[in-house]
Structure 1
Amino acid sequence: MNKITINQHAAEKIRKGIAVLDRRDFAAQDISDGFASLYFEKNFLTAAYFSRQNKGVGWTFETRDFQQLFAQARAQRKAYFDDALTNAFRAFNQDGDGFGGVTVDIYGDFALFSWYNPFIYSIKDEIVAAFRMIYPEIQGGYEKVRFESGMAVSSHLFGEAAPEKFTILENGVSYQVFLNDGLMTGIFLDQHEVRGSLINTLAAGKSMLNMFSYTAAFSVAAAMGGATSTVSVDLAKRSRELSEAHFKLNQLSLNPHKFHVMDVFEYFKYAARKNLRFDLIIIDPPSFARNKKMTFSVARDYHKLISDALEILNPNGQIIASTNHAGLSRTAFLAEIKKGFGAQKFEIVSEFRLPADFATNAADPQSDYLKVFVLEVLS
């Protein structure tokens, strides 16, 4: 195991509990992929591994006993395994469960591994073997390679092959998922508490607009929660087919539910021209997006979505403002929201962060990346 000397900044960060490492944590040293021991002023601090990824160059960890890590993570999620209304959730979440660079999601009888850097991928056999010891009931596994590799981004990993599309259950609602088709799966599991709120009370009796709708999971949840109508808008051509499939799975009539394949800013203009109004608008964009006309950044442009939404929101209507941008703090996101509201007064009705199955590192604010506010416009 390599011995690496770190600087004072890194030592203080590690002592606080932050696990992700970046290049500024080290003097001018050649850092190669693999396990290492970190030292500060000749004193051993912790074990780590190095591998470049979308954030930082590696992770610290306390143990690489993956059977122990998976067993602990499973015990902490007992409520999810016991929930008869939900069978899709995150089973292991990077440093929130003690080892960065890998996540594991459960989709019914199948598991999905996501690898975030080359080194974690190189030891995947060890990780998968440990997982299968703790989860003998899982029938098959899939993987997604979430770093630049030149390899297929999605593939079958072990056990039985899942159907090309199959149904999972969340909050008693059926959703269609796919595990071997690019990096997406048909649903974002980190939003299950927000969808649960739509089912329980938030959407009842309301007309709802779902922007950046993907497969319209929010819309289906709202319809199941008593929304009078929904409109789902996404630029991806495939979104309509996948969205309609979700409604049909739950025996919901498509008549009061509409789907538009178009740019969301263009839809805002269209709705304003047609004098369309909504009681509830959900805005959950990707952190960055690009089309022929513009490049969108949540950190820079989210306020435009809020101001456009206000133009077609009914009096005392509500906006669900959401982002998964890890680099955008809660404070900065709220500042973008307030910029969009301008002089219009509003209040925060409720707030969501990552659900408990998406375990976070309490020492690292970026670990809890999801920020969702339910905002009500005041008269």
Structure 2
Amino acid sequence: MFPDLPRLFARRAHLPEEGTTVYRAAHLTETNGLFALDVAGSVGVLSLYGLLTGEQEKELAHACAEAGDFSGVYLKRRPVEAKHAANTQRDYLSPPDPLWGEATPEITALENGVPFLIRPGADLSIGLFTDARPARQWVRQATPASVLNTFAYTCGFGLNAALGGAQAVKNIDLSRKVLAWGQENYALSGLPAPDTDFLYGDVFEWLRRLHKRGEQYALVILDPPSFARSQAGTWRAEKDYARLAAQAAAVTAPDGQILALLNHAGVSPTAFERMFHRGLENAHRSGRVVERLHPGEDYPQATHLKVHVWQLDG
């Protein structure tokens, strides 16, 4: 019923040896779309996209535990409507206790040698989106002088920018909880994390405010959700990304760059590029894609994530 999990683990065996202990051990393209399995140190996180009985869920969790030699396996149920139901069915979609083994509320795992706090039972999102690992590594190697990290979540991009030598990094998110989590991640790497670098509030409002102040950044990072509701209204990436691109361009320095991510299988790379161009035009800026990044090797044949590096003109 289930794929050869030991074989899939063997394909990723080099990752822990290279300093990465949080990664994807089985992707949807390797499980006929039924499930994905993420590793966070000694813990497994099983994301279920198809319907199984309770007994089948336990059987799959046990198979994952044996293949990964896990101390515990947590379950995330991800039906199509999960992103809309996450607030009303939280305990069903993301049970706080493991489906198999012992509880591990928090664990420190490594990505390219950088430690991150992972909370396997906290929510559908456990602290790091592992498909963006190559993009975070790019940020660390790009060493921009100043960085604005929007939709920061637990600040993985901002942390890598700081580790790469950026002199100024600002992280923006609508959740105080994840910004505090990001400050904990900074602390794990021995970096200062003053509250002034962690900006709470709506990203669009902050972009307007920063533009009004005349602030500009050498690199602006855009990693929005594909769908979200807030007091300001509903955000749909396939319709609204051009507006975000325009506001980001307004705070990007001459000859600066924008790292734009889109996690949406229904939007092609070409359509994404067209949307972004439209946003630049609306901001009276021009630019071009100079690099296209992809999910890591632990995401074979994945097409959901688009990552474009835009070089803006002066």
TM-score, length basis structure 1: 0.75
Quickly say closer, same or farther: Cα 1:371–1:210, change in 2 above 3 A: same
Quickly say closer, same or farther: Cα 1:334–1:215, change in 2 above 3 A: same
Q: Deviations over 1:27-57 (max 9, x none)?
A: xxxxxxxxxxxxxxxxxxxxxxxxxxxxxxx
Worse-matched range after superposition: 100-109 or 290-299: 290-299
Quickly say closer, same or farther: Cα 1:266–1:165, change in 2 above 3 A: same
2:157 corresponds to which residue?
218
1:352 corresponds to which residue?
293
Quickly say closer, same or farther: Cα 1:220–1:69, change in 2 above 3 A: same
CA contact (8 A) 1:205 1:227 kept: yes
1:265 and 2:204 equivalent? yes
Among candidates 105, 115, 127, match of residue 38 of structure 2: 105
1:75 and 2:10 equivalent? yes
Structure with higher Rg: it is 1
Measured in 2, the distance between the counterparts of 1:254 and 1:244 equals 6
How big is the shift at 1:263? 0.6
1:301 and 2:240 equivalent? yes
Quickly say closer, same or farther: Cα 1:277–1:152, change in 2 above 3 A: closer
2:72 corresponds to which residue?
140
1:374 and 2:313 equivalent? no
Instruction: Give the residue type in structure 1 aligned to 2:63.
Output: A
Measured in 2, the distance between the counterparts of 1:126 and 1:175 equals 30
How big is the shift at 1:255? 4.7
1:316 and 2:255 equivalent? yes
Within a 5 Å distance, the mapping from 1:1-379 to structure 2 comes to 64=1, 66=2, 69-83=4-18, 85-94=19-28, 96-119=29-52, 123-135=56-68, 137-147=69-79, 151=92, 153-154=94-95, 155-162=97-104, 164-199=105-140, 201-202=141-142, 204-255=143-194, 258-342=197-281, 344-360=285-301, 367-379=302-314
CA contact (8 A) 2:207 2:248 kept: yes
Quickly say closer, same or farther: Cα 1:70–1:228, change in 2 above 3 A: same
How big is the shift at 1:211? 0.7
How big is the shift at 1:141? 1.3
SS for the counterpart of 1:309 is helix
How big is the shift at 1:189? 1.0
Measured in 2, the distance between the counterparts of 1:146 and 1:210 equals 27
Quickly say closer, same or farther: Cα 1:340–1:82, change in 2 above 3 A: same
Instruction: Give the residue type in structure 1 aligned to 2:219.
Output: L
1:59 corresponds to which residue?
none
Measured in 1, the distance between the counterparts of 2:160 and 2:98 equals 30
How big is the shift at 1:256? 9.6
Which residues of structure 2 form unaligned runs of 5+?
A: none
Measured in 1, the distance between the counterparts of 2:197 and 2:115 equals 19
Worse-matched range after superposition: 71-80 or 124-133: 124-133
Q: Deviations over 1:239-266 (max 9, x none)?
A: 2211211111111012596011111110
Instruction: Give the residue type in structure 1 aligned to 2:280.
Output: F
Instruction: Give the residue type in structure 1 aligned to 2:168.
Output: S
1:3 corresponds to which residue?
none
SS for the counterpart of 1:226 is coil
Quickly say closer, same or farther: Cα 1:333–1:122, change in 2 above 3 A: farther
* Aligned-residue CA RMSD (Å): 1.9
CA contact (8 A) 1:101 1:120 kept: no
Tell me the percent identity.
Answer: 29
SS for the counterpart of 1:326 is coil
CA contact (8 A) 2:144 2:219 kept: no
SS for the counterpart of 1:372 is strand
Which residues of structure 1 form unaligned runs of 5+?
A: 1-63, 361-366
How big is the shift at 1:126? 2.9
Measured in 2, the distance between the counterparts of 1:231 and 1:210 equals 6
CA contact (8 A) 2:40 2:107 kept: no
Measured in 1, the distance between the counterparts of 2:116 and 2:17 equals 19
Worse-matched range after superposition: 122-131 or 271-280: 122-131
Q: Deviations over 1:183-226 (max 9, x none)?
A: 12111111111111122x21x24100011111111100111111
Q: Deviations over 1:276-299 (max 9, x none)?
A: 111100011000112112211111
TM-score, length basis structure 2: 0.90
